[in-house]
Structure 1
Amino acid sequence: PERVGAVLAARKKIIVSRVGEISLLIAVLLIGSTLHTMEFETVFHTMAAMAGPLPVSLQWASGLIVLAAALKTAQFPLQGWLIQVMEAPTPVSALLHAGIVNGGAFLIIRMSPIMSQSITASDALTIIGLITIAAAGLIMLTQTSIKVFLAWTTTAQMGFMLLECGFGLYSLAMLHLVTHSLYKAHAFLSSGSVVDIFRTPAVRPAQSTPTFWQWLIVLAFAGLMTLGIGAAFGVTLESQPALLALGTIVAVAMTQLLLQSFKAGMGAAFIVRAVGLSALVCTAYFSLHAAFHFMLATSLPAERTANGPAQFTLIGLVMLTFFAILLIQQNLPNLIQYPIARRAYVHLYNGLYVDIPLSRLLQRFWPMKTAPYDQPKGV
């Protein structure tokens, strides 16, 4: 209680959580008054048998569920509380980022029979997730604190989960939720080891920057590998365009992996191993999705196919966003020499200042007795 940053973070978390819970409560009351039941099984059977447009009350309920999930998962620009609770001890951070913050994504998955029939709410989830991925994906590149960096990655991953739900890929979102919990718990609990790794003297191989043509060839190869392995699992552009579009992220990951072999200047054997590992990652992606889809087939609605220009536009924006992040990540050392990039770096390091108005407003109406407001380090 004597630490200003801890008090501020706790108060923000209180406000955000209460607003999210009130939104969820109103949504529950709207669902109960419209369907005359609050039993999950009855609600889902009723939704499955419902024909015609979704009632206005359920559309409002789905919108409130989106709001509750966005607040619970620290979506941009209301992510400040999640970043600032880095004031907590590292094991507490691991519990928060590997468990509690997943509640918003699980809420959307649990309410998927209603959410899948609300196109407006689904599109809102997609847009919120895409904005968060773009902002957090750039901001995290500038962070110097290990825990703050991990917090921004959590925000981006939560946005990714909401994006998957917005596209109707609920089984994929559930797979993502489980795997993110495992890796993020490990990342926080082992974060102290990262400092030791950087302190350890090591002879690093000479790094060479891949040429534009190498970059293009690797990207095309990764994309073709994703399309080929996806087709082997029955995923095509006609049947599941959204799932294939999210395979773009796998292609981006494989591109990052393969480019390391060019940067390190290793021989053909190293490149072959990188290609094999990339194929293994891509196969695991589609295999695990198929497994989760099979296990959850009776619990989740059918995957919604893209219909209409709005959905295809969002799919295109997702692909462009991830390719742009890949391009910036690979060329960040070269971009920083330009004045506009240096100015952008400073703004990104400060989180684009989106959390400062809330901090000042909170300090005005709920002043802290410990000390004047001081923006927490790394935010």
Structure 2
Amino acid sequence: MSSLFLVTPLRMMLLGLVAILGLTILRYSWVAFSGERDRRRFIHALLLTIATVVLVITANHLAIFWAAWVSVSLSLHRLILFYPDRPRAQLAAHKKFLLARLSELLLAAAFVNLYLQFDTSNIQAIVQHASMPISQSLDLNVAAILLVLVALIKCAQLPMHGWLIQVVEAPTPVSALLHAGIVNLGGILLLFFSPILAASSAASWLLVVLAGISTVIAGLVSITRISIKVKLAWSTSSQMGLMLVEIALGLYEMALLHLFAHSFYKAYSFLNSGNTVNHYLAAKLAGDEKPKLQHWFYALLATSLMMVFTQWKFNFLPSLTAMALVLLAITALLVPSFTRADRGRIPKILITMSFAAGLLVLYTIAKHALAEFALPDPVLNVWADGFIALLFATLFVLSLALQYWPHSPLVKRLFIWLNAGGYLDEWATKLTLKLWPSESLLELRQHQWHTNPEVK
């Protein structure tokens, strides 16, 4: 029995995350559905979904892992269709169902390949064998590429993202569970099989390019959205792409820290989405000012000086990608303190910089602590690292262009394309309606066709 299941420090951490999120979402659901006749049906489906996620995390046998992976998708399907008469929920559920079946076939093919190559179905044994310094084989490359494709589908990377955006039609606890937990399974899969990914440069480059581009596009699209839940959904797709990029580069501690931070943030954001409008109105009444470009420059300069000193003293960032990511995050944190020109500007800047320095210290401590749970980092690919850093810089520049030069012809075209989601989900909608037609979905499609000619 012990060979069928495995509990390691890393898996214990993930189980702790599942327990905290599960209890929080369960309590919220019990209160939110207090007037629902089918509350028990929802709670049962929610508990079943959480149980299958636990099984995925603890499974040490390929067949058990695959069966649990399928069960997560099937139980989630019941939650998405808790209100089965909603056409948008049907469309999201049908897209998710079809893509899930594809990912499960790819995962089965990868597991069969690994079993035939290593002559064992024990996941721990497979990972240990793959960690040995052996020459790359075609079978190992194929298995790694298949695992990458599964992770890309599970993490809703473009152009397989549409279901994640439309699933906001489901009840709020479902969105919280999905965005805070289940989409992370793609990253968890690659973390568990990281030696196989690290042994295949082709699979790593595939993940870097596809997840990197998806991160940039989804991040820019989220800027154009007004709906709180839709904005959060696009943000999830972007954040999942970023996590996959970190795994592809071998930055496992950063990916694990990202996974935990994103899970808690998205759970809170969705469960608290009803108060977002109040926070927005309060900010308006407080007279928040929009930062000017010079304020971004001052914040970027202050962040750069802070990071140069920290990197010189502690060398805590191992790559250009990590430096670019932390640089942009701290800059966004500092810029509001530079914006308002009043007597309190200097104290606010000092307080915010002290807070940012504290975050850098906390990040360094967390990174070193998580290094005890993650696998050793492989040799960093300098070209891939530079490519992702360039993508992050592009994301930053384009996001500023959308805010400060909205009337430029090129920016206008970019905004229209982004506001339509890049028209990247059309193929999935057409294919879903062809393979799984229903009267309500066809009516929804006709309504979209007439109200938005660009859908054509």
Q: What TM-score comes out, normalization by structure 1 length?
A: 0.89
**Percent identity at matched positions?**
34
Corresponding residue for residue 340 of structure 1: 410
Q: Provide the C-alpha distance between the structure 1 equivalents of 2:249 and 2:441, rounded to a whole number of angstroms.
A: 46
Shift of residue 110, structure 1, vs aligned partner: 0.4
Does residue 214 of structure 2 align to residue 132 of structure 1?
A: yes
Shift of residue 289, structure 1, vs aligned partner: 1.1
Q: How does 1:35-74 map to 2 (within 5 A)?
A: 35-51=118-134, 53-74=135-156
SS at match of 1:148: helix
Q: Provide the C-alpha distance between the structure 2 equivalents of 1:249 and 1:8, rounded to a whole number of angstroms.
A: 35
Q: Provide the C-alpha distance between the structure 1 equivalents of 2:237 and 2:352, rounded to a whole number of angstroms.
A: 29
Q: How does 1:15-30 map to 2 (within 5 A)?
A: 15-30=98-113
| Contact in 2 for aligned 1:75/1:132 (Cα 8 Å) | yes
Pair 288,343 (structure 1): closer, same or farther in 2 beyond 3 Å: same
Q: Provide the C-alpha distance between the structure 2 equivalents of 1:130 and 1:292, rounded to a whole number of angstroms.
A: 24
Q: Provide the C-alpha distance between the structure 2 equivalents of 1:193 and 1:335, rounded to a whole number of angstroms.
A: 31
| The one of 34, 40, 51 aligned to 2:117 | 34
Shift of residue 28, structure 1, vs aligned partner: 0.5
Q: Provide the C-alpha distance between the structure 1 equivalents of 2:127 and 2:116, rounded to a whole number of angstroms.
A: 15
Corresponding residue for residue 223 of structure 1: 304
| The one of 377, 384, 387 aligned to 1:314 | 384
Pair 190,60 (structure 1): closer, same or farther in 2 beyond 3 Å: same
Corresponding residue for residue 303 of structure 1: 377
Corresponding residue for residue 161 of structure 1: 243
Deviation track 1:4-53 (CA, whole Å, cap 9, x = no partner) reads: 211111110001111111111110110010110111222122223342x2
Q: Which moved more, 1:147-156 or 1:227-236?
A: 227-236
| Contact in 2 for aligned 1:125/1:163 (Cα 8 Å) | yes
Q: Provide the C-alpha distance between the structure 2 equivalents of 1:100 and 1:201, rounded to a whole number of angstroms.
A: 32
SS at match of 2:440: coil
Letter matched to residue 378 of structure 2: R
Shift of residue 323, structure 1, vs aligned partner: 2.3
Does residue 84 of structure 2 align to residue 10 of structure 1?
A: no
Shift of residue 176, structure 1, vs aligned partner: 1.3
| Contact in 1 for aligned 2:321/2:385 (Cα 8 Å) | yes
Pair 360,202 (structure 1): closer, same or farther in 2 beyond 3 Å: closer
Pair 304,224 (structure 1): closer, same or farther in 2 beyond 3 Å: farther
SS at match of 1:78: coil
Q: Provide the C-alpha distance between the structure 1 equivalents of 2:407 and 2:225, rounded to a whole number of angstroms.
A: 18
Root-mean-square deviation over aligned CA pairs: 2.2
| Contact in 1 for aligned 2:249/2:384 (Cα 8 Å) | no
Shift of residue 225, structure 1, vs aligned partner: 2.2
Corresponding residue for residue 359 of structure 2: 281
Letter matched to residue 272 of structure 1: L
| Contact in 2 for aligned 1:161/1:173 (Cα 8 Å) | yes
Corresponding residue for residue 336 of structure 2: 260
Pair 201,211 (structure 1): closer, same or farther in 2 beyond 3 Å: closer
Does residue 243 of structure 2 align to residue 170 of structure 1?
A: no
Aligned residues: 364
Letter matched to residue 131 of structure 2: A
Q: Provide the C-alpha distance between the structure 1 equivalents of 2:190 and 2:364, rounded to a whole number of angstroms.
A: 22
Q: Provide the C-alpha distance between the structure 1 equivalents of 2:293 and 2:413, rounded to a whole number of angstroms.
A: 26
| Contact in 2 for aligned 1:208/1:262 (Cα 8 Å) | no
Corresponding residue for residue 205 of structure 2: 123
| Contact in 1 for aligned 2:433/2:441 (Cα 8 Å) | no
Q: Provide the C-alpha distance between the structure 2 equivalents of 1:120 and 1:231, rounded to a whole number of angstroms.
A: 34
Q: Which moved more, 1:92-101 or 1:277-286?
A: 277-286
SS at match of 2:378: coil
> Which fold has the larger relative contact order, with Cα–Cα distance below 8 Å and residues 6 or more apart in sequence?
1
Q: How does 1:140-151 map to 2 (within 5 A)?
A: 140-151=222-233
Q: How does 1:36-115 map to 2 (within 5 A)?
A: 36-51=119-134, 53-115=135-197
Q: What TM-score comes out, normalization by structure 2 length?
A: 0.75
SS at match of 2:286: coil
Pair 203,45 (structure 1): closer, same or farther in 2 beyond 3 Å: closer
Letter matched to residue 219 of structure 1: L
Shift of residue 319, structure 1, vs aligned partner: 1.9
Corresponding residue for residue 266 of structure 2: 184
Corresponding residue for residue 325 of structure 1: 395
SS at match of 1:305: coil
| The one of 329, 332, 355 aligned to 2:425 | 355
